[in-house]
Chains A and B, each alone.
Chain A
Amino acid sequence: MFGPLISKPGSSRNNQTGSWRVEVKPKFLQKNCIACNMCVLICPEGCIQGEGKNTYMCDYNYCKGCGNCAAICPKQDIEMVKEQLEPTRAKARGT
């Protein structure tokens, strides 16, 4: 007999950590981007992707809103803006 023992690859994607964001989220301006790829490298969630200038975007289903991408962008092309919470979550937070 066997029980819980082994996990199948990549199943963490079932856990949409975007729900963790409460205050800020990154806004990808896609104006002055030079496609340096630094935001892709620095994101702890690995949820930013892009191919060529001004195409970079994060997957908001997983973005935790840490802000490292905005901090590293050499062209300040990523801004941390206020998160718009759904009404139920906003109420729970008193905002």
Chain B
Amino acid sequence: MNKTLFNSGHTACAGCGQSLAARLVIDAAGANTIVVNNTGCLEVFSTKYPETAWAVPWIHSLFENAAAVASGVESALKYLGKKDSINVIAQAGDGGTADIGLQALSGMLERGHDILYVCYDNEAYMNTGIQRSGLTPFETNTTTSPIGAQSLGNLRPKKPMPEIANAHGIPYVATASAGFPQDIQRKVKKALSIKGPKYIQIHVPCPLGWRHEPGLTFQVGKLAVETGLYPLIEYENGKLANVRKLTQVKPVSEYLKVQGRFKHLLNNPEAINKVQEIANYNIEKYNLSEVTT
């Protein structure tokens, strides 16, 4: 039997990026970990009573308070003198982090709790049926930012959560992607070796919400990184310490055309161009390109 701390038999959709990332995170963290989870797809598909996929102590409270509940777990462990031997991970989706969970997250980061916060970014409120969140990208079709005769979808850029986390002065911030599974585990292990609050945001494709084939999860994740739309970066003590360089920069259209949520952009070069501008901005800002001209 597979020795994993996130067991099979959970009811995630076939090809779910979040379930594969969650398993990678907890297996990297190990059995001496307490997990605090917000409401969302992960919580729902992994703990439908009486079954649970988790083989570590795990608690779910509400939608927005994983960071606060985790702060309580961490404080209790400190009181018991056990904090050094037990990891605390707080995890949530993008809505539960950037929108409704921002206050609790900010408080936890500001107070300096020794907790790793993991945001599973599938770029919408997926559990409730694909609604727009603060991390939904530009020109995305969701049910509350639908395309229509007068709309090209969500017209706001992604909230820069890694930068917001970094601005709190925490020791480690990183982005990761389901397209790079070993990188996820490396970053989780690295984060857990550091004392203090850490923030990791993992880009996780959602076959249902992004409208792509279930077997393309990891490829879609990879494309997001290879186009520059989802830079893989690490901040250490406030400074940009590491980026994953792109030896080959792919045009955003390659990423957009495999997902139904961007179907409306395909015959609209002007709209695609706006997305390309976002990718170009990222490439320049983080100096991602290794392409020699």
Contact = CB atoms under 8 A, between A and B. Distances in A.
Interface of A: 4, 7-17, 20, 38, 41-49, 59, 61-62, 64-68, 70-72, 80
Contacts of A9: 52, 54-56
Nearest to B219: A71
Contacts of B4: 46
B8 A65 contact: no
B12 interface: yes
A42 B180 CA distance: 9
A44 B16 CA distance: 6
Contact of B8 (A8, A59, A71): A59
A13 to B, nearest CB: 5
B2 A64 contact: no
Contacts of A67: 15, 213-215
Interface string B173-209: 0000000011001000000000000000000000100
Contacts of B50: 4, 7-8, 11
Question: Which are the 10 A-B pairs with shortest beta-carbon distances?
Answer: A67-B215, A66-B15, A12-B9, A62-B8, A64-B14, A7-B52, A66-B214, A41-B181, A12-B53, A66-B14
16 contacts: A7-B50, A8-B52, A9-B54, A9-B55, A12-B7, A16-B9, A17-B8, A20-B14, A42-B20, A44-B217, A45-B19, A48-B2, A61-B8, A65-B14, A67-B215, A68-B15
Contacts, number: 112
A42 B181 contact: yes
Contact of B9 (A14, A42, A49, A65): A14
Contacts of A44: 12, 14-17, 19-20, 23, 217
Contact of A71 (B17, B49, B216): B216
Given A45-B19, A49-B2, A68 B218 contact: yes
Interface string B217-253: 1110000000000000000000000000000000000
Contacts of B216: 68, 71
A80 B213 CA distance: 13
